[in-house]
Chains A and B, each alone.
Chain A
Amino acid sequence: AQSVTQLDSQVPVFEEAPVELRCNYSSSVSVYLFWYVQYPNQGLQLLLKYLSGSTLVESINGFEAEFNKSQTSFHLRKPSVHISDTAEYFCAVSPVGATNKLIFGTGTLLAVQP
């Protein structure tokens, strides 16, 4: 079975500052990893994913995450945040080839302050 830990329930940060949202996972098999973002009163939007290949993956709005197999981590980073990045971020894991068995972390609220 897989599990996901997001240690930070809330991360306050000032606008234009860098941010890192931490995600660690546990699994006895190879995994896919995902970050989803949820804006207030909306569903989940896929932010980025690691399926295979390069361990550094990027989103179109400046976020990036690096798959670190030895540390079983998939931390999300952005060098300069905007007010509009305020949202809840969920890390998720599934066995390879089985995203129908997606397991989510508890979420991290990124609160960007002016």
Chain B
Amino acid sequence: KAGVTQTPRYLIKTRGQQVTLSCSPISGHRSVSWYQQTPGQGLQFLFEYFSETQRNKGNFPGRFSGRQFSNSRSEMNVSTLELGDSALYLCASRETTGETDTQYFGPGTRLTVL
């Protein structure tokens, strides 16, 4: 099976712009989670989508939003970008079959806000 894919891998934006990141989970996985990774704050949970519905949400401002499509692909949007939004954004898809419950991560999108 192909792994989790994220596009684009790198993005450079300026303050005030908005950005959309995309994630395709492993085939058959219906849950997609997003994380922000920064040197200062480490890995922080943004939100989780399951069957096109947001199921869990972390402690981030409303500028961060997401959605999931019927094919389980997910997008994350950040509006009115701030310098502090510069980070590696990781997407994870969750396998829950039988006795297995595990999250698999994509390579990430490196966002730089200038």
Residues of A within 8 A of B (CB): 32, 34, 36, 41-46, 49, 51-52, 90, 94, 97-102, 104-107
- How far is it, in angstroms, between the C-alpha of A106 and the C-alpha of B6 when the chains are bound? 23
- How far in angstroms is the closest Cβ of chain A from B83? 21
Chain A residues, CB < 8 A from B4? 43
- Which of B31, B33, B90, B104 is within 8 Å of A46, CB to CB? B104
Q: In the complex the two chains form, is B108's CB within 8 Å of A46's CB?
A: no
* Contact segment of B12-20, B66-74, B93-101: B93-101
Which B residues are closer than 8 A to A by beta carbons?
A: 4, 6, 31, 33, 42-43, 45, 48, 50, 55-56, 88, 90, 92, 94, 96, 99-108, 110
Answer whether A44 and B105 are a contact pair too, CB < 8 Å, given A99-B94, A100-B48, A100-B94: yes
Count A/B pairs, Cβ under 8 Å.
55
B105 touches A100 (CB 8 A): no
Nearest B-chain residue to A53, judged by Cβ: B99
- Bound together, the chains give a CA A102 to CA B103 distance in angstroms of 9
A101 touches B56 (CB 8 A): yes
Within the complex, the shortest CB–CB distance from A25 to chain B, in Å, comes to 15
Closest 3 CB pairs of A and B: A44-B105, A43-B107, A104-B43
Contacts of B88 in A (CB 8 A): 43
Contact indicator B107/A100 (Cβ below 8 Å)? no
